[in-house]
A and B are shown apart, each in its own frame.
Chain A
């Protein structure tokens, strides 16, 4: 925290006591307190200036309201002292805001060297979080009280990863890696949003962030991997369907979405965009996962991103079994 913060913590605490939870979700990372403090500092500057402007305006409106059509007595129309005062004072204040915003920004952007790294892949319209041991999930789980660094890439268009409770946000850009870091200090489940417009289901590109107390995170990760390998193929496929983003476009109730529904399609003959016909079999599903635009069903757009190298054979087998199980 800043040295002057103790002096001005009055500003931060007064509204925080009254309005905690009004302006922000509860601060849940180490950086959040600093950002909130800065927000309240600017808020109070805003309130003081706004009340000043409003009070003067309303006072003049009442006292100097027009009573007759005569010209009011002549008064001066320039005063250099006034002009300099109301230019210099705000300048000093905004310099202060700039400086603290700048130092806070460096804290936000510079991840500590010992950060726990998680790889993030964004694609329309889901997130994949891959842990150092290769385990991937559509929700984010992080250890508490330890810096976590997300290294992020996009498979298609711009996305942006935003966790309001941690006060962090960073665009995810195709063709390069961006990163952000945080140190979560509150146990619970938090919301993660995509905040860069990315098409049809932008508003459903959500994920949950779960924080685990130190020690419990490793246990959670081990169990997650074990559970996955022990699952029967159909259940593994169902889990992949939910976690790896298939559900964003392919329904299991027969209603077509951005992509065709999985229900009752296996083994049927379907028309394709190029006019050909083909039976939906194991090889077709496998090809569609690895090279989605090779054969596109009639009436659908070639928008599915590839999963090549992102799903293991066992997981693809699971998905095939899962689709097989969805009979009419």
Chain B
């Protein structure tokens, strides 16, 4: 048998039999210290996954409590105005800084990127571990801020409110400052890894699109995040030392803060969505059993989004009092970003043409992504158009829009990616029916939660409101019931994944038939990923993978010559 020629744990797929390799990255070393001090990108990725998912759970529970309050438009005894304001601030801050920004790059990216690339680890493993601990410190700062007086500024920290309020603004901004460095470390690591650690044959245009997306994201992380750091330091200076930068009483300018803040936070929107688009590119191709359509267009559109994303921050400020000319220029540039996103959607659809489409859970999430992201993207056109934005700005319409992009887009792609790479990470297959039902519940619950918010926003319901007028009650209640369905779907997804760790079937090396490199090593991968440098084909040469019912998965057919697609 061919298996005898390949030593166990070599990382190469054994042609027959399950991956019985005794040594993998999970069992390589044992004990708490072997995880806490690990330099293995896979373990760091898993630790990030556990921590960011926990943050998502906390942020999600806050969202459900907020929505429960909003069942009524009047004051309730169990939640005061101030508690509500604290909670929507923390919901936003936790979701943005602890979950969405690090979610895909730091958790999935850390695990997958080096293996996809054919490398043994990232370029700077210690810096990678450092990035994880910075995340932990940042999170501790945020938790301390909550315990020491809370935070009621909104996640945007707009001045002069944030310099005047007596809540823990300094602690919270310190936390976000530290989290920024965590993000910069990850980005820097990915850029250097992709530039210097590609094995022979892995040319730029043989990189899977997830790597292109992560690379584009890393550029933004490295270039934009320092601006947030500086802005928050200036805010702290003003609060602690009374140096007038943003406060008009001290000769500062509050609108300047908004410029600084959005100079980071708009590109940060692309830190959130670009990796999600990368995940979806992998999913659509794999589950259609087809090479991705328009590879170079999708790759370049990621870079285009990363670069254009730097030039549109002012569209958050059309009603802020910034000059008319600035608003007009920012509106124009904003529309230019919509085109690369549209190109991606069309290419994903074209990939499905004449495919063999499987509805495994990751694909259900990928299709959900296309549906929700299309709505999120298209409703952006209303907000980019100056005259219409004036009416819609700071209403629930905007809330619905960015949740369709951030949650319907990024979070759904994150879930798709987690289900997709779960067998690789844990060596276990999750229950497919449970996964599919979770995707369906998320789809229904999400739309029921956020679609009514478009309508009430256009009808004039402002955001960040504790109480509201009776005319909006129907929409709010509809939205709240939707959020319960959404919560149920997400709980089921979590249950399906955790259940599989204990009861799941052993996963084959390549359950889905993808041709990218991470599926060429065993599930879970060995400590060093590859014992010998892997041979690199086109990442979407799916014709090299044939289904083997005995494996319950796919294996490489040595007789097939891979095509350059």
Contacts and interface: CB of A to CB of B under 8 A. Distances in A.
Given A75-B353, A157-B161, A46 B378 contact: yes
Interface stretch (B135-143, B320-328, B489-497, B523-531): B320-328
A204 B82 CA distance: 13
Interface string B143-158: 0000000001010001
Interface stretch (B25-33, B54-62, B388-396, B499-507): B388-396
A135 interface: no
A78 interface: yes
Interface stretch (A161-169, A272-280, A285-293, A310-318): A161-169
A71 B289 contact: yes
Interface stretch (A5-13, A170-178, A237-245, A263-271): A170-178
B466 A202 contact: yes
Q: Which of A43, A56, A197 has the most CB of B within 10 A?
A: A197
B367 A191 contact: no
Nearest to A91: B339
Given A164-B459, A173-B254, A199 B358 contact: no
Contact of A42 (B374, B388, B455): B388
Contacts of A162: 394-395, 460, 462
A97 B467 CA distance: 35
B394 A71 contact: no
Given A195-B462, A301-B166, A77 B293 contact: yes
Nearest to A19: B455
A247 to B, nearest CB: 15
Interface stretch (A62-70, A111-119, A222-230): A62-70
A91 B342 CA distance: 10
B3 interface: no
Contact of A69 (B254, B367, B384, B547): B547
Contact of B356 (A72, A94, A167, A195): A72
Interface stretch (A101-109, A138-146, A212-220, A320-328): A101-109
A200 B384 contact: no
B561 to A, nearest CB: 13
B161 A60 contact: no
Contacts of B389: 101
Contacts, number: 264
Contacts of A178: 321
A210 to B, nearest CB: 17
A75 B355 CA distance: 9
Given A87-B339, A108-B386, A203-B464, 17 more contacts: A35-B387, A67-B356, A70-B547, A73-B354, A74-B563, A77-B292, A86-B343, A104-B386, A105-B331, A105-B386, A105-B390, A108-B390, A162-B394, A174-B249, A194-B462, A199-B161, A200-B85
A54 B378 CA distance: 13
B331 A102 contact: yes
Given A77-B295, A195-B462, A23 B332 contact: no
B379 interface: yes
Interface of B: 81-82, 85, 152, 154, 158, 160-161, 164-166, 248-249, 253-255, 288-297, 318-321, 324, 327-328, 331-332, 335-336, 338-339, 342-343, 345-347, 349-359, 367, 370-371, 374-375, 378-379, 381-382, 384-391, 393-395, 455, 458-460, 462-469, 540, 542-543, 546-547, 563, 565
A98 B331 contact: yes
Closest 5 CB pairs of A and B: A175-B248, A164-B460, A104-B387, A101-B385, A105-B386
Contacts of A168: 390-391
Contacts of B166: 301
A72 B85 contact: no
A208 to B, nearest CB: 12
Contacts of B385: 38, 42, 97-98, 100-101, 104
A79 B565 CA distance: 12
Interface of A: 22-25, 34-35, 38-39, 42-43, 45-46, 49-50, 53-54, 56-57, 60-61, 64-75, 77-79, 82-83, 86-87, 90-91, 94-95, 97-98, 100-109, 156-158, 160, 162, 164-165, 167-171, 173-176, 178, 191, 193-204, 301
Contacts of A43: 382
Nearest to B375: A50
Contact of A53 (B161, B291, B336, B345): B345
A64 B352 contact: yes
A114 B354 CA distance: 65
Contact of A83 (B297, B336, B542): B297
A299 to B, nearest CB: 14
B291 A71 contact: no
B390 A53 contact: no
Contacts of B295: 77-78
Contacts of A200: 81-82, 85
B160 A174 contact: yes
A304 B322 CA distance: 28
Nearest to A70: B356
Contacts of A79: 293-294, 350
Nearest to B513: A69
Q: Which of B152, B158, B367, B458 has the most CB of A within 10 A?
A: B458
